Chains A and B, each alone.
Chain A
Protein backbone atom coordinates (compact mmCIF):
# COMPACT_ATOMS: atom_id res chain seq x y z
CA UNK A 1 0.00 0.00 0.00
CA UNK A 2 1.72 3.08 -1.21
CA UNK A 3 -0.35 5.43 0.86
CA UNK A 4 0.35 3.62 4.06
CA UNK A 5 3.99 4.51 3.75
CA UNK A 6 3.03 8.05 3.00
CA UNK A 7 0.92 8.44 6.12
CA UNK A 8 3.56 6.73 8.20
CA UNK A 9 6.07 9.23 6.91
CA UNK A 10 3.86 12.17 7.72
CA UNK A 11 3.17 10.85 11.19
CA UNK A 12 6.85 11.03 12.01
CA UNK A 13 7.08 14.63 10.93
CA UNK A 14 7.31 17.15 13.72
CA UNK A 15 3.96 18.77 14.33
CA UNK A 16 3.46 22.45 14.04
CA UNK A 17 2.03 24.13 17.07
CA UNK A 18 -1.60 25.09 16.88
CA UNK A 19 -2.36 22.40 14.31
CA UNK A 20 -6.13 22.11 14.67
CA UNK A 21 -5.96 18.41 14.13
CA UNK A 22 -3.37 17.46 16.66
CA UNK A 23 -5.78 15.20 18.51
CA UNK A 24 -6.42 13.15 15.40
CA UNK A 25 -2.74 12.88 14.63
CA UNK A 26 -2.12 11.66 18.13
CA UNK A 27 -4.83 9.10 17.83
CA UNK A 28 -3.26 7.82 14.67
CA UNK A 29 -0.01 7.26 16.43
CA UNK A 30 -1.85 5.55 19.23
CA UNK A 31 -0.41 8.05 21.67
CA UNK A 32 -1.90 10.97 23.46
CA UNK A 33 0.45 13.84 23.71
CA UNK A 34 -1.94 16.70 23.43
CA UNK A 35 -5.69 17.01 23.16
CA UNK A 36 -7.94 19.55 21.59
CA UNK A 37 -11.62 19.92 21.00
CA UNK A 38 -12.37 17.36 18.33
CA UNK A 39 -15.73 18.83 17.39
CA UNK A 40 -13.86 21.88 16.17
CA UNK A 41 -11.54 19.67 14.09
CA UNK A 42 -14.49 17.82 12.64
CA UNK A 43 -16.02 21.11 11.65
CA UNK A 44 -12.78 22.15 9.91
CA UNK A 45 -12.57 18.79 8.09
CA UNK A 46 -16.21 19.06 7.11
CA UNK A 47 -15.65 22.55 5.71
CA UNK A 48 -12.52 21.48 3.82
CA UNK A 49 -14.36 18.72 1.97
CA UNK A 50 -17.43 20.87 1.42
CA UNK A 51 -15.17 23.48 -0.15
CA UNK A 52 -13.85 20.92 -2.68
CA UNK A 53 -17.40 19.85 -3.48
CA UNK A 54 -18.61 23.42 -3.87
CA UNK A 55 -15.69 24.30 -6.11
CA UNK A 56 -16.59 21.53 -8.53
CA UNK A 57 -20.32 22.21 -8.27
CA UNK A 58 -19.67 25.78 -9.33
CA UNK A 59 -17.57 24.54 -12.21
CA UNK A 60 -20.25 22.20 -13.66
CA UNK A 61 -20.82 23.00 -17.30
CA UNK A 62 -20.54 21.88 -20.92
CA UNK A 63 -17.49 19.80 -20.07
CA UNK A 64 -19.66 17.42 -18.09
CA UNK A 65 -22.44 17.09 -20.64
CA UNK A 66 -19.82 16.51 -23.34
CA UNK A 67 -18.33 13.71 -21.29
CA UNK A 68 -21.53 11.78 -20.70
CA UNK A 69 -22.77 12.28 -24.25
CA UNK A 70 -19.41 11.06 -25.59
CA UNK A 71 -19.61 8.00 -23.33
CA UNK A 72 -23.01 7.15 -24.73
CA UNK A 73 -21.64 7.59 -28.27
CA UNK A 74 -18.72 5.24 -27.58
CA UNK A 75 -21.14 2.76 -26.07
CA UNK A 76 -23.31 2.84 -29.20
CA UNK A 77 -20.33 2.39 -31.50
CA UNK A 78 -19.10 -0.57 -29.47
CA UNK A 79 -22.58 -2.06 -29.48
CA UNK A 80 -22.90 -1.84 -33.25
CA UNK A 81 -19.39 -3.25 -33.74
CA UNK A 82 -19.89 -6.01 -31.19
CA UNK A 83 -23.32 -7.16 -32.29
CA UNK A 84 -22.37 -6.78 -35.95
CA UNK A 85 -19.25 -8.93 -35.63
CA UNK A 86 -21.05 -11.56 -33.55
CA UNK A 87 -23.84 -11.71 -36.09
CA UNK A 88 -21.66 -11.69 -39.20
CA UNK A 89 -18.62 -13.78 -38.35
CA UNK A 90 -18.97 -17.55 -38.56
CA UNK A 91 -18.48 -19.95 -35.66
CA UNK A 92 -15.78 -19.26 -33.08
CA UNK A 93 -14.65 -16.18 -35.00
CA UNK A 94 -17.74 -14.48 -33.57
CA UNK A 95 -15.78 -14.33 -30.32
CA UNK A 96 -14.01 -11.34 -31.87
CA UNK A 97 -17.19 -9.34 -31.32
CA UNK A 98 -17.46 -10.21 -27.63
CA UNK A 99 -14.89 -7.65 -26.38
CA UNK A 100 -16.79 -4.87 -28.14
CA UNK A 101 -20.10 -6.03 -26.77
CA UNK A 102 -18.48 -6.23 -23.36
CA UNK A 103 -17.23 -2.64 -23.70
CA UNK A 104 -20.75 -1.53 -24.54
CA UNK A 105 -22.28 -3.35 -21.58
CA UNK A 106 -19.51 -2.14 -19.31
CA UNK A 107 -19.86 1.54 -20.22
CA UNK A 108 -23.62 1.35 -19.86
CA UNK A 109 -23.39 -0.38 -16.49
CA UNK A 110 -20.64 1.59 -14.79
CA UNK A 111 -19.53 4.87 -16.30
CA UNK A 112 -22.99 5.80 -17.60
CA UNK A 113 -25.55 3.90 -15.52
CA UNK A 114 -23.99 3.95 -12.08
CA UNK A 115 -23.00 7.58 -12.25
CA UNK A 116 -26.19 8.85 -13.87
CA UNK A 117 -28.30 7.10 -11.22
CA UNK A 118 -26.26 8.87 -8.55
CA UNK A 119 -27.83 12.04 -9.97
CA UNK A 120 -24.49 13.36 -11.21
CA UNK A 121 -26.05 14.86 -14.34
CA UNK A 122 -29.46 15.86 -12.94
CA UNK A 123 -28.66 19.55 -13.05
CA UNK A 124 -28.21 19.70 -16.83
CA UNK A 125 -31.60 20.48 -18.36
CA UNK A 126 -30.37 19.80 -21.90
CA UNK A 127 -29.75 16.08 -21.34
CA UNK A 128 -32.98 14.72 -19.84
CA UNK A 129 -31.96 11.21 -20.90
CA UNK A 130 -29.20 11.33 -18.28
CA UNK A 131 -31.37 12.43 -15.38
CA UNK A 132 -31.59 9.79 -12.68
CA UNK A 133 -35.39 9.92 -12.76
CA UNK A 134 -35.56 9.22 -16.51
CA UNK A 135 -32.64 6.88 -16.97
CA UNK A 136 -33.12 3.17 -17.59
CA UNK A 137 -30.19 0.84 -17.08
CA UNK A 138 -29.03 -1.58 -19.73
CA UNK A 139 -28.23 -3.80 -16.78
CA UNK A 140 -30.54 -6.19 -14.91
CA UNK A 141 -30.91 -3.86 -11.95
CA UNK A 142 -34.07 -2.06 -10.93
CA UNK A 143 -33.26 1.65 -10.80
CA UNK A 144 -35.53 2.60 -7.91
CA UNK A 145 -34.48 -0.33 -5.76
CA UNK A 146 -30.84 0.39 -6.45
CA UNK A 147 -31.12 4.08 -5.69
CA UNK A 148 -32.74 3.29 -2.36
CA UNK A 149 -30.24 0.62 -1.40
CA UNK A 150 -27.10 2.12 -2.86
CA UNK A 151 -27.54 5.88 -2.61
CA UNK A 152 -29.62 6.05 0.52
CA UNK A 153 -28.14 3.20 2.57
CA UNK A 154 -24.75 2.03 1.31
CA UNK A 155 -23.42 5.52 0.70
CA UNK A 156 -24.65 6.73 4.09
CA UNK A 157 -23.68 3.78 6.30
CA UNK A 158 -20.60 2.58 4.42
CA UNK A 159 -19.00 -0.44 6.10
CA UNK A 160 -21.28 -0.14 9.13
CA UNK A 161 -22.05 -3.60 10.48
CA UNK A 162 -25.71 -4.60 10.06
CA UNK A 163 -26.38 -1.31 8.29
CA UNK A 164 -24.43 -1.45 5.03
CA UNK A 165 -26.14 -3.97 2.75
CA UNK A 166 -23.06 -4.14 0.51
CA UNK A 167 -21.07 -5.81 3.28
CA UNK A 168 -22.77 -9.09 2.63
CA UNK A 169 -24.18 -9.22 -0.85
CA UNK A 170 -25.90 -12.55 -0.82
CA UNK A 171 -24.38 -14.40 2.11
CA UNK A 172 -20.80 -13.13 2.05
CA UNK A 173 -18.82 -12.95 5.31
CA UNK A 174 -15.97 -10.44 5.28
CA UNK A 175 -15.63 -9.50 8.95
CA UNK A 176 -15.45 -11.39 12.21
CA UNK A 177 -18.57 -9.81 13.68
CA UNK A 178 -20.83 -11.67 11.34
CA UNK A 179 -21.98 -15.09 12.60
CA UNK A 180 -20.34 -17.95 10.74
CA UNK A 181 -22.39 -20.64 9.04
CA UNK A 182 -21.35 -23.76 7.17
CA UNK A 183 -21.98 -22.22 3.77
CA UNK A 184 -19.25 -19.69 4.47
CA UNK A 185 -16.59 -22.43 4.19
CA UNK A 186 -17.46 -22.46 0.50
CA UNK A 187 -17.89 -18.75 0.02
CA UNK A 188 -14.72 -18.20 -2.02
CA UNK A 189 -15.34 -20.83 -4.71
CA UNK A 190 -19.06 -20.12 -4.71
CA UNK A 191 -18.48 -16.44 -5.27
CA UNK A 192 -15.69 -16.76 -7.81
CA UNK A 193 -17.40 -19.43 -9.88
CA UNK A 194 -21.08 -18.75 -9.53
CA UNK A 195 -22.07 -15.50 -7.83
CA UNK A 196 -19.56 -13.11 -9.41
CA UNK A 197 -20.43 -14.14 -12.97
CA UNK A 198 -24.08 -13.42 -12.20
CA UNK A 199 -23.39 -10.55 -9.83
CA UNK A 200 -25.63 -7.91 -11.41
CA UNK A 201 -28.63 -10.20 -11.05
CA UNK A 202 -27.68 -10.84 -7.43
CA UNK A 203 -27.30 -7.14 -6.76
CA UNK A 204 -30.84 -6.62 -7.94
CA UNK A 205 -32.39 -9.27 -5.74
CA UNK A 206 -30.33 -7.94 -2.85
CA UNK A 207 -31.49 -4.35 -3.42
CA UNK A 208 -35.11 -5.32 -3.62
CA UNK A 209 -34.92 -7.50 -0.53
CA UNK A 210 -35.68 -10.70 -2.41
CA UNK A 211 -32.61 -12.34 -0.81
CA UNK A 212 -33.84 -11.87 2.72
CA UNK A 213 -36.26 -14.75 2.54
CA UNK A 214 -33.52 -17.02 1.22
CA UNK A 215 -31.24 -16.13 4.11
CA UNK A 216 -33.95 -16.41 6.72
CA UNK A 217 -34.70 -19.90 5.42
CA UNK A 218 -31.23 -21.35 4.82
CA UNK A 219 -29.24 -19.72 7.57
CA UNK A 220 -29.70 -20.95 11.11
CA UNK A 221 -29.18 -17.47 12.45
CA UNK A 222 -31.66 -15.95 10.05
CA UNK A 223 -30.86 -12.40 9.15
CA UNK A 224 -28.55 -11.80 12.10
CA UNK A 225 -25.51 -9.86 10.95
CA UNK A 226 -27.14 -8.73 7.75
CA UNK A 227 -28.36 -5.31 6.84
CA UNK A 228 -32.00 -5.86 6.11
CA UNK A 229 -33.87 -3.52 3.85
CA UNK A 230 -34.98 -0.37 5.56
CA UNK A 231 -38.64 -0.90 6.36
CA UNK A 232 -39.53 2.57 5.31
CA UNK A 233 -38.33 1.88 1.78
CA UNK A 234 -39.15 -1.81 1.60
CA UNK A 235 -41.29 -2.87 -1.30
CA UNK A 236 -44.10 -5.30 -0.71
CA UNK A 237 -43.05 -8.79 -1.68
CA UNK A 238 -45.17 -8.82 -4.84
CA UNK A 239 -43.87 -5.41 -5.84
CA UNK A 240 -40.26 -6.46 -5.21
CA UNK A 241 -40.70 -9.60 -7.30
CA UNK A 242 -42.40 -7.66 -10.05
CA UNK A 243 -39.55 -5.16 -10.14
CA UNK A 244 -36.96 -7.95 -10.15
CA UNK A 245 -38.78 -9.68 -12.99
CA UNK A 246 -38.99 -6.49 -15.00
CA UNK A 247 -35.36 -5.52 -14.44
CA UNK A 248 -34.03 -8.93 -15.47
CA UNK A 249 -36.43 -9.66 -18.29
CA UNK A 250 -35.50 -6.60 -20.26
CA UNK A 251 -31.94 -8.01 -20.45
CA UNK A 252 -33.05 -11.59 -21.07
CA UNK A 253 -35.33 -10.42 -23.82
CA UNK A 254 -32.74 -8.31 -25.58
CA UNK A 255 -29.64 -10.48 -25.15
CA UNK A 256 -31.04 -13.99 -25.20
CA UNK A 257 -34.17 -13.71 -27.30
CA UNK A 258 -34.21 -10.70 -29.56
CA UNK A 259 -30.69 -10.78 -31.03
CA UNK A 260 -30.39 -14.59 -31.19
CA UNK A 261 -33.77 -14.64 -33.00
CA UNK A 262 -32.49 -11.97 -35.37
CA UNK A 263 -29.53 -14.26 -36.07
CA UNK A 264 -31.89 -17.16 -36.60
CA UNK A 265 -33.94 -15.20 -39.10
CA UNK A 266 -30.85 -14.04 -40.99
CA UNK A 267 -29.50 -17.58 -40.89
CA UNK A 268 -26.32 -16.95 -38.94
CA UNK A 269 -27.02 -19.08 -35.89
CA UNK A 270 -29.15 -18.66 -32.77
CA UNK A 271 -26.80 -20.54 -30.45
CA UNK A 272 -23.70 -18.62 -31.49
CA UNK A 273 -25.24 -15.25 -30.71
CA UNK A 274 -26.84 -16.56 -27.54
CA UNK A 275 -23.50 -17.83 -26.23
CA UNK A 276 -21.57 -14.72 -27.27
CA UNK A 277 -24.11 -12.50 -25.49
CA UNK A 278 -23.98 -14.76 -22.46
CA UNK A 279 -20.21 -14.48 -22.36
CA UNK A 280 -20.36 -10.67 -22.53
CA UNK A 281 -23.00 -10.65 -19.79
CA UNK A 282 -20.91 -12.86 -17.49
CA UNK A 283 -17.78 -10.82 -18.13
CA UNK A 284 -19.68 -7.64 -17.38
CA UNK A 285 -20.94 -9.02 -14.08
CA UNK A 286 -17.51 -10.33 -13.12
CA UNK A 287 -15.81 -7.05 -13.95
CA UNK A 288 -18.37 -5.05 -12.01
CA UNK A 289 -18.21 -7.37 -9.00
CA UNK A 290 -14.41 -7.25 -8.78
CA UNK A 291 -14.38 -3.47 -9.21
CA UNK A 292 -16.84 -2.86 -6.43
CA UNK A 293 -15.85 -5.52 -3.93
CA UNK A 294 -12.16 -4.76 -3.93
CA UNK A 295 -12.73 -1.20 -2.77
CA UNK A 296 -14.57 -1.74 0.56
CA UNK A 297 -14.17 -5.22 2.06
CA UNK A 298 -10.53 -4.85 2.88
CA UNK A 299 -11.21 -1.72 4.93
CA UNK A 300 -12.25 -1.51 8.59
CA UNK A 301 -15.84 -1.56 9.80
CA UNK A 302 -17.09 1.84 10.83
CA UNK A 303 -18.84 2.89 14.04
CA UNK A 304 -22.59 3.14 13.79
CA UNK A 305 -22.75 6.73 14.96
CA UNK A 306 -20.35 8.05 12.30
CA UNK A 307 -23.28 9.78 10.69
CA UNK A 308 -23.98 11.98 13.70
CA UNK A 309 -21.40 14.55 12.74
CA UNK A 310 -20.64 15.62 9.18
CA UNK A 311 -16.90 15.76 9.79
CA UNK A 312 -16.88 12.31 11.36
CA UNK A 313 -18.97 11.02 8.48
CA UNK A 314 -16.40 12.29 5.99
CA UNK A 315 -13.66 10.52 7.95
CA UNK A 316 -15.66 7.28 8.01
CA UNK A 317 -16.06 7.52 4.24
CA UNK A 318 -12.31 8.03 3.82
CA UNK A 319 -11.56 5.14 6.12
CA UNK A 320 -14.03 2.65 4.62
CA UNK A 321 -12.95 3.06 1.00
CA UNK A 322 -9.74 2.35 -0.86
CA UNK A 323 -8.67 3.47 -4.32
CA UNK A 324 -6.64 1.56 -6.83
CA UNK A 325 -4.48 3.05 -9.50
CA UNK A 326 -5.30 3.30 -13.18
CA UNK A 327 -5.04 5.84 -15.96
CA UNK A 328 -7.98 7.92 -17.19
CA UNK A 329 -9.11 5.43 -19.84
CA UNK A 330 -8.92 2.49 -17.49
CA UNK A 331 -10.82 4.54 -14.94
CA UNK A 332 -13.68 4.96 -17.39
CA UNK A 333 -13.96 1.18 -17.65
CA UNK A 334 -14.19 1.00 -13.87
CA UNK A 335 -16.80 3.77 -13.93
CA UNK A 336 -14.19 5.79 -11.98
CA UNK A 337 -14.92 3.51 -9.05
CA UNK A 338 -11.19 3.04 -8.66
CA UNK A 339 -11.49 6.53 -7.21
CA UNK A 340 -13.76 5.00 -4.61
CA UNK A 341 -12.64 7.45 -1.91
CA UNK A 342 -13.57 10.48 -3.99
CA UNK A 343 -16.76 8.77 -5.11
CA UNK A 344 -17.79 8.20 -1.51
CA UNK A 345 -16.96 11.73 -0.47
CA UNK A 346 -18.74 13.33 -3.43
CA UNK A 347 -21.15 10.79 -4.94
CA UNK A 348 -23.13 13.37 -6.90
CA UNK A 349 -20.24 15.12 -8.66
CA UNK A 350 -19.67 13.87 -12.25
CA UNK A 351 -17.22 11.01 -12.03
CA UNK A 352 -14.76 12.20 -14.65
CA UNK A 353 -13.74 14.91 -12.19
CA UNK A 354 -12.53 12.41 -9.58
CA UNK A 355 -8.93 12.23 -10.83
CA UNK A 356 -8.65 16.00 -10.37
CA UNK A 357 -10.50 15.95 -7.07
CA UNK A 358 -8.20 13.19 -5.81
CA UNK A 359 -5.30 15.65 -5.66
CA UNK A 360 -7.35 18.09 -3.60
CA UNK A 361 -8.63 15.34 -1.30
CA UNK A 362 -5.08 14.10 -0.76
CA UNK A 363 -4.01 17.62 0.18
CA UNK A 364 -6.78 17.84 2.81
CA UNK A 365 -5.89 14.41 4.15
CA UNK A 366 -2.25 15.43 4.47
CA UNK A 367 -3.21 18.64 6.21
CA UNK A 368 -5.43 16.93 8.78
CA UNK A 369 -3.49 13.64 8.95
CA UNK A 370 -6.45 11.60 7.76
CA UNK A 371 -6.26 8.14 6.22
CA UNK A 372 -6.18 8.10 2.41
CA UNK A 373 -5.74 4.64 1.04
CA UNK A 374 -4.76 3.48 -2.40
CA UNK A 375 -3.71 0.13 -3.82
CA UNK A 376 -0.99 0.24 -6.45
CA UNK A 377 -2.98 -1.86 -8.92
CA UNK A 378 -6.32 -3.52 -9.46
CA UNK A 379 -4.57 -6.88 -9.28
CA UNK A 380 -3.31 -6.12 -5.80
CA UNK A 381 -6.74 -4.93 -4.68
CA UNK A 382 -8.31 -8.15 -6.00
CA UNK A 383 -5.67 -10.31 -4.30
CA UNK A 384 -6.39 -8.52 -1.04
CA UNK A 385 -10.14 -8.94 -1.25
CA UNK A 386 -9.80 -12.61 -2.14
CA UNK A 387 -7.57 -12.93 0.89
CA UNK A 388 -10.29 -11.42 3.06
CA UNK A 389 -12.92 -13.74 1.62
CA UNK A 390 -10.67 -16.75 2.22
CA UNK A 391 -9.83 -15.73 5.78
CA UNK A 392 -13.41 -15.16 6.81
CA UNK A 393 -14.68 -18.38 5.30
CA UNK A 394 -13.31 -19.98 8.46
CA UNK A 395 -14.94 -19.72 11.81
CA UNK A 396 -11.93 -18.77 13.88
CA UNK A 397 -10.17 -15.74 12.50
CA UNK A 398 -9.05 -14.16 15.74
CA UNK A 399 -5.39 -14.34 14.67
CA UNK A 400 -6.14 -12.10 11.69
CA UNK A 401 -8.49 -9.83 13.53
CA UNK A 402 -9.65 -6.95 11.47
CA UNK A 403 -8.08 -3.54 11.68
CA UNK A 404 -9.96 -1.13 13.90
CA UNK A 405 -11.54 1.92 12.30
CA UNK A 406 -9.76 5.24 12.39
CA UNK A 407 -12.60 6.81 14.35
CA UNK A 408 -12.70 4.20 17.11
CA UNK A 409 -8.89 4.19 17.42
CA UNK A 410 -9.10 7.90 17.89
CA UNK A 411 -11.84 7.55 20.47
CA UNK A 412 -10.01 4.95 22.51
CA UNK A 413 -6.88 7.10 22.39
CA UNK A 414 -8.89 9.93 23.91
CA UNK A 415 -10.29 7.68 26.59
CA UNK A 416 -6.79 6.61 27.50
CA UNK A 417 -5.88 10.24 27.83
CA UNK A 418 -8.82 10.90 30.14
CA UNK A 419 -7.82 8.01 32.37
CA UNK A 420 -4.29 9.35 32.61
Chain B
Protein backbone atom coordinates (compact mmCIF):
# COMPACT_ATOMS: atom_id res chain seq x y z
CA UNK B 1 0.00 0.00 0.00
CA UNK B 2 1.23 3.45 -0.87
CA UNK B 3 -0.59 5.98 1.18
CA UNK B 4 0.88 9.00 2.85
CA UNK B 5 -0.70 10.89 5.68
CA UNK B 6 -1.41 13.77 3.31
CA UNK B 7 -3.19 11.47 0.92
CA UNK B 8 -5.31 10.17 3.75
CA UNK B 9 -6.17 13.72 4.69
CA UNK B 10 -7.19 14.41 1.10
CA UNK B 11 -9.35 11.34 1.20
CA UNK B 12 -10.99 12.57 4.37
CA UNK B 13 -11.91 15.85 2.71
CA UNK B 14 -15.09 14.26 1.45
CA UNK B 15 -16.41 13.80 4.95
CA UNK B 16 -18.11 16.40 7.09
CA UNK B 17 -16.18 17.80 10.04
CA UNK B 18 -17.98 15.74 12.64
CA UNK B 19 -17.40 12.43 10.93
CA UNK B 20 -13.78 13.35 10.29
CA UNK B 21 -13.17 14.34 13.90
CA UNK B 22 -14.78 11.16 15.11
CA UNK B 23 -12.51 9.06 12.89
CA UNK B 24 -9.37 10.98 13.78
CA UNK B 25 -10.17 10.58 17.45
CA UNK B 26 -10.70 6.87 16.93
CA UNK B 27 -7.34 6.49 15.22
CA UNK B 28 -5.79 8.42 18.06
CA UNK B 29 -7.48 6.80 21.04
CA UNK B 30 -9.00 3.44 20.16
CA UNK B 31 -5.95 1.94 18.52
CA UNK B 32 -2.87 3.32 20.23
CA UNK B 33 -2.81 3.05 23.95
CA UNK B 34 -0.17 4.50 26.18
CA UNK B 35 -0.94 1.90 28.80
CA UNK B 36 -2.87 -1.31 28.40
CA UNK B 37 -5.93 -1.58 30.58
CA UNK B 38 -6.91 -5.22 30.26
CA UNK B 39 -3.91 -7.16 29.06
CA UNK B 40 -0.56 -7.70 30.72
CA UNK B 41 2.63 -6.97 28.77
CA UNK B 42 3.22 -10.67 28.29
CA UNK B 43 -0.32 -11.18 26.97
CA UNK B 44 0.08 -8.22 24.65
CA UNK B 45 3.23 -9.72 23.13
CA UNK B 46 1.45 -13.01 22.45
CA UNK B 47 -1.59 -11.23 21.03
CA UNK B 48 0.62 -9.13 18.81
CA UNK B 49 2.39 -12.20 17.45
CA UNK B 50 -0.89 -14.04 16.84
CA UNK B 51 -2.58 -11.09 15.15
CA UNK B 52 0.39 -10.52 12.86
CA UNK B 53 -0.19 -14.02 11.54
CA UNK B 54 -4.01 -13.91 11.57
CA UNK B 55 -4.37 -10.51 9.92
CA UNK B 56 -1.01 -9.90 8.24
CA UNK B 57 -0.78 -6.20 7.46
CA UNK B 58 1.53 -4.35 5.17
CA UNK B 59 4.19 -2.39 7.04
CA UNK B 60 2.52 0.90 6.06
CA UNK B 61 -0.78 -0.27 7.50
CA UNK B 62 0.01 1.05 10.89
CA UNK B 63 -2.98 -0.33 12.75
CA UNK B 64 -2.40 -1.30 16.37
CA UNK B 65 -4.82 -4.19 16.78
CA UNK B 66 -3.62 -5.11 20.26
CA UNK B 67 -4.38 -1.57 21.35
CA UNK B 68 -7.77 -1.90 19.77
CA UNK B 69 -8.48 -5.22 21.49
CA UNK B 70 -7.53 -3.65 24.79
CA UNK B 71 -10.02 -0.88 24.10
CA UNK B 72 -12.72 -3.24 22.84
CA UNK B 73 -12.55 -6.17 25.23
CA UNK B 74 -15.61 -6.26 27.44
CA UNK B 75 -17.42 -3.72 25.27
CA UNK B 76 -20.53 -5.36 23.82
CA UNK B 77 -20.26 -3.54 20.45
CA UNK B 78 -23.85 -4.24 19.62
CA UNK B 79 -24.10 -7.68 21.10
CA UNK B 80 -24.92 -8.66 24.66
CA UNK B 81 -25.44 -12.38 24.17
CA UNK B 82 -23.30 -14.87 26.02
CA UNK B 83 -23.46 -18.59 25.56
CA UNK B 84 -24.51 -20.60 28.57
CA UNK B 85 -21.51 -21.67 30.62
CA UNK B 86 -19.08 -19.36 28.85
CA UNK B 87 -17.01 -16.89 30.86
CA UNK B 88 -17.33 -13.13 30.40
CA UNK B 89 -15.33 -11.79 27.48
CA UNK B 90 -12.30 -10.47 29.35
CA UNK B 91 -11.86 -13.72 31.22
CA UNK B 92 -12.35 -15.63 27.97
CA UNK B 93 -9.45 -13.71 26.44
CA UNK B 94 -7.16 -14.34 29.40
CA UNK B 95 -7.93 -18.07 29.28
CA UNK B 96 -7.50 -18.22 25.51
CA UNK B 97 -4.15 -16.44 25.56
CA UNK B 98 -2.93 -18.68 28.35
CA UNK B 99 -4.09 -21.71 26.35
CA UNK B 100 -2.19 -20.48 23.29
CA UNK B 101 0.99 -20.10 25.30
CA UNK B 102 0.57 -23.52 26.92
CA UNK B 103 0.03 -25.19 23.54
CA UNK B 104 3.18 -23.52 22.28
CA UNK B 105 5.28 -24.58 25.27
CA UNK B 106 4.00 -28.12 24.99
CA UNK B 107 4.58 -28.43 21.25
CA UNK B 108 7.77 -26.43 20.74
CA UNK B 109 9.01 -25.82 24.27
CA UNK B 110 9.17 -22.07 23.61
CA UNK B 111 6.93 -19.08 24.09
CA UNK B 112 4.50 -18.40 21.24
CA UNK B 113 6.10 -15.03 20.53
CA UNK B 114 9.52 -16.65 20.01
CA UNK B 115 8.38 -19.23 17.45
CA UNK B 116 9.10 -18.97 13.74
CA UNK B 117 6.15 -17.79 11.63
CA UNK B 118 5.58 -21.34 10.37
CA UNK B 119 5.50 -22.71 13.90
CA UNK B 120 3.13 -19.97 14.97
CA UNK B 121 0.84 -20.86 12.08
CA UNK B 122 0.79 -24.50 13.13
CA UNK B 123 -0.22 -23.48 16.68
CA UNK B 124 -2.92 -21.18 15.31
CA UNK B 125 -4.23 -24.03 13.14
CA UNK B 126 -4.39 -26.22 16.25
CA UNK B 127 -6.37 -23.54 18.07
CA UNK B 128 -8.67 -23.04 15.12
CA UNK B 129 -9.49 -26.77 15.24
CA UNK B 130 -9.33 -27.28 18.99
CA UNK B 131 -10.56 -24.08 20.60
CA UNK B 132 -12.64 -22.75 17.73
CA UNK B 133 -14.73 -20.47 19.93
CA UNK B 134 -11.73 -18.55 21.20
CA UNK B 135 -10.17 -18.47 17.76
CA UNK B 136 -13.32 -16.94 16.27
CA UNK B 137 -13.67 -14.51 19.17
CA UNK B 138 -10.10 -13.28 18.78
CA UNK B 139 -10.18 -13.06 15.01
CA UNK B 140 -13.58 -11.41 14.73
CA UNK B 141 -12.99 -8.92 17.53
CA UNK B 142 -9.67 -7.91 16.00
CA UNK B 143 -11.34 -7.64 12.60
CA UNK B 144 -13.85 -5.16 14.01
CA UNK B 145 -10.89 -2.93 14.73
CA UNK B 146 -9.15 -3.58 11.45
CA UNK B 147 -12.33 -2.92 9.45
CA UNK B 148 -12.99 0.30 11.35
CA UNK B 149 -9.67 1.85 10.34
CA UNK B 150 -9.47 4.19 7.32
CA UNK B 151 -6.13 2.66 6.27
CA UNK B 152 -7.82 -0.72 5.92
CA UNK B 153 -10.64 0.87 3.94
CA UNK B 154 -8.11 2.21 1.49
CA UNK B 155 -6.80 -1.29 1.03
CA UNK B 156 -10.31 -2.70 0.53
CA UNK B 157 -11.37 0.05 -1.84
CA UNK B 158 -14.16 0.95 0.54
CA UNK B 159 -14.82 4.70 0.60
CA UNK B 160 -15.95 4.90 4.23
CA UNK B 161 -18.66 7.32 5.31
CA UNK B 162 -20.89 8.43 2.45
CA UNK B 163 -22.21 11.46 4.30
CA UNK B 164 -22.74 14.15 3.19
CA UNK B 165 -22.16 13.91 -0.54
CA UNK B 166 -23.66 10.45 -0.95
CA UNK B 167 -22.93 7.87 -3.55
CA UNK B 168 -24.27 8.72 -6.94
CA UNK B 169 -22.37 6.17 -8.96
CA UNK B 170 -24.54 3.14 -8.63
CA UNK B 171 -24.01 1.59 -12.05
CA UNK B 172 -20.96 -0.13 -13.41
CA UNK B 173 -19.77 2.61 -15.76
CA UNK B 174 -20.24 5.26 -13.13
CA UNK B 175 -18.24 3.26 -10.63
CA UNK B 176 -15.33 2.98 -13.05
CA UNK B 177 -15.42 6.67 -13.94
CA UNK B 178 -15.70 7.65 -10.34
CA UNK B 179 -12.71 5.60 -9.37
CA UNK B 180 -10.58 7.49 -11.91
CA UNK B 181 -11.11 10.63 -9.89
CA UNK B 182 -9.71 9.02 -6.78
CA UNK B 183 -6.07 8.30 -7.51
CA UNK B 184 -4.75 6.03 -4.83
CA UNK B 185 -7.88 3.99 -4.61
CA UNK B 186 -6.79 0.97 -6.53
CA UNK B 187 -3.14 1.72 -6.97
CA UNK B 188 -1.84 -0.37 -4.13
Query: Do chains A and B interact in one complex?
Result: no
Binding site for A on B (CB under 8 A): none
